[in-house]
């Protein structure tokens, strides 16, 4: 199981490196080009490419962050075992729900 988590964290990190770079460049472009929130939502509305990109981004975050947090908690606290794993699955579900909610919101806005 730990080996699979190790692979999942490395693969999601690679995705996040690329997706994070694209996301930051997009933010810089929006901030410097004078687009309003309405302009941005106009472009995200119904855009299948952006929907797919940010869905992938959110999934990568929901995989990567809980695995890393689990390791940090194992090293810095006595918390171990099934309770920790269940908490991290719940944390992953929370990240996924909040992230996908935002992705869907800007897609249908």
Partner 1 sequence: MLLVRIWRGTTSGRFQVFAVPRRENQTVLDVVTQVQREQDATLSYRFACRVGMCGSCAMVVNGRPRWACRTRVSEAARDDRLQLEPLRNFPVVKDLAVEMTEFFDKWRAAKGFFEPGTAPADDFAVVSPGSSERQAADAGIECIGCGICHSACDVVAWDKDYLGPAALNRAWTLVNDVRDQAGEERLAAVSGASGCVACHTHMSCTKLCPQAIAPTYAIAGLKRAIVSRALRGAT
Binding residues for partner 1, rule: CB under 8 A, are 1-7, 71, 74-76
**β strands within the chain, DSSP E:** none
Residue 84 CB, nearest distance to partner 1 (Å)?
Answer: 10
Please tell me the distance from the alpha carbon of residue 78 to that of residue 50, in angstroms, as a whole number.
41
Residue 10 CB, nearest distance to partner 1 (Å)?
Answer: 8
Residue 18 CB, nearest distance to partner 1 (Å)?
Answer: 21
What residue has token string 């999942």? 8
Q: Which is nearer to partner 1, 48 or 82 (CB)?
A: 82
DSSP-derived letter for residue 28 is H
């Amino acid at each position: 199981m730990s080996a699979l988590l190790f692979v999942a964290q490395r693969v999601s990190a690679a995705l996040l490196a690329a997706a994070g770079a694209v996301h930051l460049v997009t933010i810089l472009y929006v901030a410097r080009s004078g687009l309003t929130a309405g302009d941005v939502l106009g472009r995200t509305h119904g855009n299948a490419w952006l929907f797919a990109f940010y869905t992938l981004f959110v999934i990568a975050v929901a995989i990567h962050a809980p695995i890393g947090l689990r390791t940090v908690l194992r090293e810095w606290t006595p918390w171990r075992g099934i309770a920790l794993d269940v908490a991290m699955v719940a944390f992953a579900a929370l990240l996924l729900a909040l992230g996908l909610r935002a992705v869907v919101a800007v897609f249908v806005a």
